[in-house]
Amino acid sequence: MRIEDYALIGDMHTAALVGRDGSIDWLCLPRFDSAACFAALLDEPRAGRWLLAPADRGARARRRYREDTLILETTWETSGGRVRVLDFMPPRGEAPDVIRVVEGLRGRVELRTELTLRFGYGDIVPWTRHDGGQLAAVAGPDSAWLDSPVPLVAEDGTTTAGFAVSGGDRLAFVLTWQQSWLPRPARLDAFEALDDTERAWTEWMRGCAYRGQYAHAVRRSLLTLKALTYAPTGGVLAAPTTSLPELVGGTRNWDYRYSWLRDATYTLRALLTAGYEEEATAWRDWLLRAVAGHPADLQIMYTVDGTRRVPEWRADWLRGYEDSRPVRIGNAAGDQVQLDVYGEVLDCLYQGREEGLHHDDDAWELQRGLMDHLEGHWRDPDHGLWEVRGPRRHFVHSKVLAWVAADRMAGAVERQGRSGPAGRWKALREEIHREVCERGFDPDRNTFTQFYGSRGLDAALLLIPRLGFLPPSDERVTGTVEAVRRELSSDGLIMRYSPDLDDLDELAGGEGAFLACSFWLADALALQGRPDKARELFERLLDLRNDVGLLSEEYDTGHGRQVGNFPQAYSHVAIVNTASDLGSAGT
Ligand SMILES: OC[C@H]1O[C@H](O[C@H]2O[C@H](CO)[C@@H](O)[C@H](O)[C@H]2O)[C@H](O)[C@@H](O)[C@@H]1O
């Protein structure tokens, strides 16, 4: 299954990927970053999955989401008739549920279901038995219960059933997870749950303020961002998957089931421009709780509840997505020094105040502490926003974000009534600006560079005008935008950097074009007053979405397929922000 052959369902505690073939191949329970009970996405069906599809292998599927919801409708056309499967997870009640409703539409269709539960990322075969009319599967702390409308047969660790539906029939399968020491969860009425789920998503979408020409894409992106939000805390995940490779067969496989501070400013902007103040406030509050503590202990990422430890290990029993090894669980980038996050956090909180986000105490002292720390460290080398796993460097983007931090802190004093040494911060801002323009700019090539003295470029330099470091029309900015287009483009899409130059990241193999960076190019072009070019690129990027409007992190232009974790918040945030910018620029 290609990555774009998957669709997302979820309940804002966790999420599942449903393949075009009717197989749920990825599901972590009970939380996004819990162990998977379906991990076939990263291996074979034996690693856990739930298939529900016509027995006729020649059946053709068409998919869509039901209106503005996360209810996936797959309609199968077979030689005997037509059938529809609705896949969804209702809003979390007592326990997480995955519901699959089968609706006969025409004729008679034979179907087959195969449920292979494997807890612990495909590693643990549960003890399975029939209990009180349900199938019960138990291993260690996990138990799962299946309510089935048809008789099931268990053999070789898989539970199967063959059955038929005719026009007008409606059957529902309900799979529920529970901690194994608790009593069996109360049974759910699947059809009521369907109505509740539809109502919840539809009502949420009514709050959308975007009215521009890209409404369809923006609305689906917002729904996806909402689905990637952990409801109890407001933390937004980078993606619900781990180790979908940045190039198929490669080793750049990472666990994204966490919240990155860096992604904060962009996410906040997307939520606010689309009218979702409540979500923006929850995200801002998540951020404040996560960064609370000693400024030197700031991490670049946290779990969705703000936990700091995310140790990285390898699930070596999984062969990886199309043999892309290793499968990594956890993310060692959490221990890196990435100085840009100080600027990202302070910018995010500054923007929140500008937009009038209410907070009794926006932890100004905490922000001053972060700024004090940065004042003492902005000259240090770091791992940069791309989290390279090589030596630390003086990344230009990190220094620009140090400038952003000083700029926003001075602005908070001068325009937002906060107290602090604005004069000192403005002097620091000038000092950083001077150093970046001297050491981070190559006059011979008329471009900013990836790090001081580097031969390479960095797509993050496209953010310079948006961040306000220099105006869009400055020759150094136009030169950089042109250089990035020339040197980092892969069939018109933008790579983050050239991994081979300067031995930057000490990892073998390449990666696809980074979609967020490609949107940033569209933004830079719009800011430079080149709306036609911006729009052309934006629409091309929209065309890369799959049939249900989803984008992963990267795109392999050589093979014409999505790569990287999926769906990726960064890409969907970029859709919302660029669409809004194109609209407000009147382009
Ligand atoms: O490929 C290198 C790095 O990729 C991941 O980081 C990327 O995703 C983050 C979350 O969206 C984003 O904030 C960061 O800028 C991206 O580079 C991964 O988490 C890293 O471990 C990995 O080195």
Residue 571 burial (CB < 10 Å; 0-12/13-18/19+)?
Answer: buried
> What's the 511 CA to ligand 1 centre distance in angstroms?
12
- Whether 100 shows a pLDDT value over 70: the answer reads yes
Single pTM value for the model: 0.96
Ligand 1 center from residue 411 Cα (angstroms): 30
Is residue 117's pLDDT more than 70? yes
Place of tokens 């075009």: 20
Give the pLDDT of residue 238. 97
Q: Output the CA 386–ligand 1 centroid distance in Å.
A: 6
Hey, whose CA ends up nearest to atom 11 of ligand 1?
Answer: 238
Q: Say what the pLDDT of residue 138 is.
A: 97
Cα 178-179-181 angle, rounded to 5 deg: 120
**What does the pLDDT average to over 280-301?**
88
Express as a percent the part of the chain with pLDDT over 70. 98
- CA nearest to 450, candidates 489, 484, 477: 484
- Paired residues of 74 in beta bridges: 63, 85
pLDDT of 386 reads: 95
Query: Which residue has 């979390």 as its token pair?
Result: 92
Closest CA to 52 of 4, 103, 113, 93: 113
Cα(553) to ligand 1 centroid in Å equals 10
Closest ligand 1 atom to Cα of 300: 13
Bond prior to 149 in cis (omega within 30° of 0): no
Whether 319 has a pLDDT exceeding 70, the answer reads yes
Residue corresponding to tokens 């330099």: 461
Shortest-distance atom of ligand 1 to CA 252 = 1
Question: Which of 306, 217, 291, 211 has the alpha carbon at shortest distance from 258?
Answer: 306
pLDDT > 90: percent of the chain: 85
CA distances from 378 to 220, 299, 414 (A): 39, 16, 23
229-244: pLDDT as tens digits: 999 999 999 999 999 9
Ligand 1 atom with least separation from CA of 568: 11
529: confidence class by pLDDT, cuts 50, 70, 90: very high
For residue 385, give the ligand 1 atom closest to its CA: 15
Tell me, in angstroms, the distance from the centre of ligand 1 to residue 103's CA. 41
> Which atom from ligand 1 is nearest to the alpha carbon of 262?
13
Of the candidates 440, 432, 447, the residue with the CA atom closest to the CA atom of residue 401: 432
Q: What is the enclosing helix (H) or strand (E) of 88?
A: strand 81-88
Per-position DSSP letters for 120-184, written without gaps between them: HHHTBPPEEEEETTEEEEEETTEEEEEE-SS--EEETTEEEEEEEEETT-EEEEEEEEEETTSPP
Region 291-296: what's the mean pLDDT?
Answer: 87
> What's the whole-number mean pLDDT along residues 64-82?
97
Task: Count CB atoms within 10 A of the CB of residue 188.
Answer: 19
**Band of pLDDT at residue 206, cut at 50, 70 and 90:** very high
The Cα–Cα gap between 13 and 31 comes to 5
Q: CB of 102 within 8 A of CB of 111?
A: yes
CA nearest to 133, candidates 110, 150, 113: 150
- Give 232 Cα–ligand 1 centroid separation in angstroms: 24
* For residues 523-551, average pLDDT: 97
**Tokens standing for residue 186:** 């109360």
pLDDT grade for 61, boundaries at 50, 70 and 90: very high
> Which amino acid belongs to residue 340?
D
Q: Please provide the size of the chain in residues.
A: 587
Do residues 547 and 539 touch, judged by C-beta distance below 8 A?
no
On the 0-12 / 13-18 / 19+ scale of CB atoms within 10 A, 158 is middle
159 C-alpha to center of ligand 1: Å?
38
How many angstroms separate the alpha carbon of residue 507 from the centre of ligand 1? 14
Mutation test residue for ligand 1: of 329, 382, 387, 505, the one with most atoms within 8 Å of CB: 387
Supply φ then ψ for residue 467, to 5 degrees. Answer: -80, -15
Which pLDDT belongs to residue 156? 84
* Contact of 551 with 575, CB cutoff 8 Å: yes
Specify whether the CB–CB gap between 43 and 62 falls below 8 A: no
Q: 577: how many CB neighbours lie within 10 A of its CB?
A: 24
Which atom, in ligand 1's list, is nearest to the CA of 263? 13
Q: Which long-range contacts (CB under 8 A, 24 or more apart) does 80-85 make?
A: 80/56, 80/107, 80/108, 80/109, 80/110, 81/105, 81/106, 81/107, 81/108, 81/109, 81/166, 81/167, 82/106, 82/107, 82/109, 83/54, 83/109, 83/111, 83/165, 85/22, 85/52, 85/53
Please write the tens of the pLDDT for every residue from 454-505: 989 999 999 999 999 999 999 999 999 999 999 999 999 999 998 777 667 7
Report DSSP state, residue 326.
Answer: P
Q: Report the separation in Å between the CA atom of 231 and the middle of ligand 1, taken as the mean of its atom positions.
A: 23
Residues with CB under 6 A from ligand 1: 238, 246, 252, 254, 256, 260, 262-263, 331, 333, 385-387, 389, 570
Nearest CA among 421, 467, 264, 439 for reference residue 352: 264
Please state at what angle helix 215-227 crosses helix 190-205, rounded to 10 degrees: 120
- Token pair listed for 524: 């830079």
CA–CA–CA angle 558, 559, 561 (5° rounding): 120
Q: How confident is the model at residue 587 (pLDDT cuts 50, 70, 90)?
A: very low
Bridge partners, 137 (sequence order): 128, 144
- In the reported structure, the alpha carbon of residue 388 is separated from the centroid of ligand 1 by a whole-number distance in angstroms of 8
Whose CA is closest to atom 7 on ligand 1?
A: 386
Mean pLDDT of 95-118: 98
- Residue 360's pLDDT band (cuts 50, 70, 90): low
Atom of ligand 1 nearest to the CA of 239: 11
For atom 18 of ligand 1, the residue with the nearest CA is 254
3-state secondary structure labels for all residues of 348-416: HHHHHHHCCCCCCCCCHHHHHHHHHHHHHHCCCCECCCCCCCCCCECEHHHHHHHHHHHHHHHHHHHHH
Q: Which of 304, 329, 386 to mutate to test the pocket of ligand 1 (most atoms within 8 A of CB)?
A: 386
Q: Which atom of ligand 1 is nearest to the CA of 569?
A: 11
Strand-pair partners of 73: 64, 86
- The confidence band for 269, taking pLDDT boundaries of 50, 70 and 90, is confident
Distance of CA 195 to the CA centre of its chain: 27
The atom of ligand 1 lying closest to the CA of 255 is 19
558-561 long-range contacts (CB < 8 A, ≥24 apart) are 558/490, 559/248, 561/2, 561/3, 561/4, 561/248
Question: Distance from the CA of 512 to the center of ligand 1, in angstroms?
Answer: 13
**Reduced to 3 states, what is the DSSP secondary structure of residue 292?**
coil
Mean pLDDT, the chain, rounded, equals 94
Which H or E element spans position 24?
A: strand 23-28
Distance 260 CA to ligand 1 centre (A): 9
Using CA positions, which residue lies closest to atom 14 of ligand 1?
386
Ligand 1 midpoint to CA 555 (Å): 15
pLDDT of residue 521: 98
Q: Which domains are assigned to the chain?
A: 3-204 (2.70.98.40), 207-584 (1.50.10.10)
Which of 254, 313, 511 to mutate to test ligand 1, by most ligand atoms within 8 A of the CB atom? 254
- Per-residue pLDDT reduced to its tens digit, 393-440: 999 999 999 999 999 999 999 999 999 999 999 999 999 999 999 999
The answer to whether 406 touches 428, Cβ cutoff 8 Å, is yes
